[in-house]
Amino acid sequence: MASRSQRRSPRRSPRRSPRRLRGALVCAAAAAVALVISLVVAFRPDHQAADGQEVAASAASVRAKAPATTPNATPSPAKPSAGGSPSPTATPTPTASKSKPKPKPKATPKPTPKPPVTSGGGTATAADRPASGAAPLGGWIQPGTTYKGVATWYDTDGNGACLFGPSSDVMTAAMNTRDYETSKACGAYVRVRAANGASVTVRITNLCPGDCLPGQLDLSPQAFAKLAAPVTGRISITWTLVSPAVANPISIRYKDGSSKYWCAIQVIGHRNPVARLEVRTSSGWVRLARTGYNYFLSEKGTGCGGPIRISDIYGERVTTDALPVRAMVVQPTRVQFAAH
């Protein structure tokens, strides 16, 4: 039996260092990758020297580790550029701005309507102007306004351009062209005053032609005699529109030649000047045009023989029943305008 000193421990195999083992593995992997890449490059039909450089850089990047990122990192705010404006990548924070209240526009003053021009070249005074809204459909002649002019006289039987026909009412007058206003003055009542204080109320039945000045009235001999002696021939006057009491209601007359295919309608015996006339149709009320001979014309027979709606200068409307088309026959109604 051998002594202890002669015994030998069994021989152990040498251990390799872990660090060297990892290095070897990395080298082997890198070599394999490089070999594969080299083969790929070698067999590319259009490879160039520059491509080899790019591939080498790619192979080298295989071993590079991606930089670690911090989760939920908060980006730093963009710094303003030298000019003071934020850089293009920065998103400006919206700021609530207080808008200043817009100044209210100043009200534009309404122009003052010009008063009527009198025949003597003057104007009506402020006290003579009509109240606002007194006659919404009024024309040149307005209620409450005093007009200045002259009065003359002529022989008449009450008939004239208004085509009312001869009348037993001798207190009539012809109106100058301007104030006649395409027959709008027909049937109007005006009170005429002379400088001596005398007055008379007349109804407009005729048109005084161009030799009559604005504001002038050509009276019947009987009416002129109420103001001055007929031998005087011409006097200064003032006159105003009036709304007298009348006993009878309004009447309607169709002109000669009227039928259901064409008609012209006239209003007779109205207390206040007529502003418009409308006829009833299946589609509603239709306004008819006024003529210079004091008829309202329906050239295509629209509304002929149907109900009629009449408006005075104050805006009041009265409606008649349907009346048959009877040429030159005065047909009474049951309506009349209110007094003003």
**What's the start-to-end Cα distance of the chain, in Å?**
163
Per-residue pLDDT of 84-110, as tens digits, reads: 333 333 333 333 333 344 444 444 444
Instruction: Confirm if 330 and 267 have CB atoms less than 8 A apart.
Output: no
CA distance 139 to 263: 25
Percentage with pLDDT > 70 across the chain:
61
Compute the C-alpha angle 240/194/339, nearest 5°.
25
In the chain, DSSP assigns E strands to 147-153, 172-176, 189-194, 199-208, 217-219, 235-242, 251-254, 263-268, 274-281, 284-287, 289-290, 296-298, 308-312, 317-320, 330-332
CA distance 64 to 67: 9
Q: What pLDDT is recorded for position 34?
A: 58
Residues with Cβ within 8 Å of 92's Cβ and at least 6 positions away in sequence, in order, are 86
Q: What pLDDT is recorded for position 105?
A: 45
Q: What pLDDT is recorded for position 160?
A: 97
CA distance 318 to 246: 16
Q: What pLDDT is recorded for position 134?
A: 57
Residues with Cβ within 8 Å of 270's Cβ and at least 6 positions away in sequence, in order, are 187, 250, 310, 312, 336, 337
Per-residue pLDDT of 286-312, as tens digits, reads: 999 999 999 999 999 999 999 999 999
Q: What is the mean pLDDT of residues 11-36?
A: 54
DSSP 8-state class, residue 168: S
Alpha carbon 335 to its chain's center:
36
Reading the block at residue 270, the tokens are: 């109205």
**CA Rg, the chain, in Å?**
55
Q: What pLDDT is recorded for position 297?
A: 98
Provide the residue count of the chain: 340
DSSP 8-state class, residue 69: -
Report whether pLDDT(20) > 90. no
Instruction: Confirm if 264 and 258 have CB atoms less than 8 A apart.
Output: yes
In 111-262, DSSP assigns E strands to 147-153, 172-176, 189-194, 199-208, 217-219, 235-242, 251-254
The amino acid sitting at 212 is C
Instruction: Confirm if 138 and 313 have CB atoms less than 8 A apart.
Output: yes
Residues with Cβ within 8 Å of 19's Cβ and at least 6 positions away in sequence, in order, are none
Work out whether strand 189-194 and strand 199-208 pair parallel, antiparallel, or are unpaired.
antiparallel
